[in-house]
Amino acid sequence: ASAFFDRQRHDGRTRHTHTVVKIRRIQNRSLLSRFEAERKVMHQNRDTDTVELTCDYSWHGSGAVQPDHIAAGSGLMTQFGSEQGFYGQGNYSAHQASYSHHERYVYRSSDAEGDHRDAGGQYFHLLLVRVLRGNPLKTTEVWKPPDETGCRFGAVQDKLGQQFDSVEGGPHRPTSSGPYAPGEIGSDNSVIYVAYHPNQCLPEFIVTYTQNNT
């Protein structure tokens, strides 16, 4: 997890900008059992001889929720995701840690254990999550909000759960769609992954780090 974090933060400059304080391995047998059961069902529902099912690590910022509560509880629950997300209500995670490090997503605290949430705290906490992406729907666009008829998804989006198991979107910036334009300053573009069933996401590590003064 430490090596993965080092590769991800700010184009390989992690060791100059951030310092890993601790990494905690999450051991939640209930979440693991549900994840493995979901994987088995997905393989049964897909022709794995013609469709390659993917499972990747990605970063999740838990916002105002202490990561330990997610790790020790029921995991990432889709019903708590915002309906205003780029791809509707679901579990969002990012390929690049810099995306999840954004103040909109990262959990911060005044203590290394993360017990005392503090928006200006020196300690940052991210979840490293294994995502069962299956056969992802890949797109660089975002989905429009519901129209007056209440219809959110178009013909392609309706294939979720039928032909596709998740969404791979972007790259996007943390607060707006699409990557930075040429000449703009920013290093937190990322492809994001969205899963719509809680058992598709397995939190495996909590990474705690500080931001160095550079």
Residue 13 has pLDDT above 50, yes or no: no
Q: Rounded to an integer, what distance in angstroms lies between the CA atom of residue 103 and that of residue 184?
A: 19
Residue 148 has pLDDT above 60, yes or no: no
pLDDT, tens digit (0-9, with 9 covering 90-100), for 164-180: 889 999 999 998 888 88
Residue 162 has pLDDT above 50, yes or no: yes
The residues, ordered by sequence, that sit 6+ positions from 134 with a Cβ below 8 Å of its Cβ are 42, 46, 53, 54, 164, 165, 166, 200
What pTM was computed for the model?
A: 0.84
Q: Rounded to an integer, what distance in angstroms lies between the CA atom of residue 150 and that of residue 155?
A: 15
Q: Rounded to an integer, what distance in angstroms lies between the CA atom of residue 34 and that of residue 38?
A: 6
Q: Rounded to an integer, what distance in angstroms lies between the CA atom of residue 157 and that of residue 180?
A: 25
Q: What is the mean pLDDT of residues 122-140?
A: 92
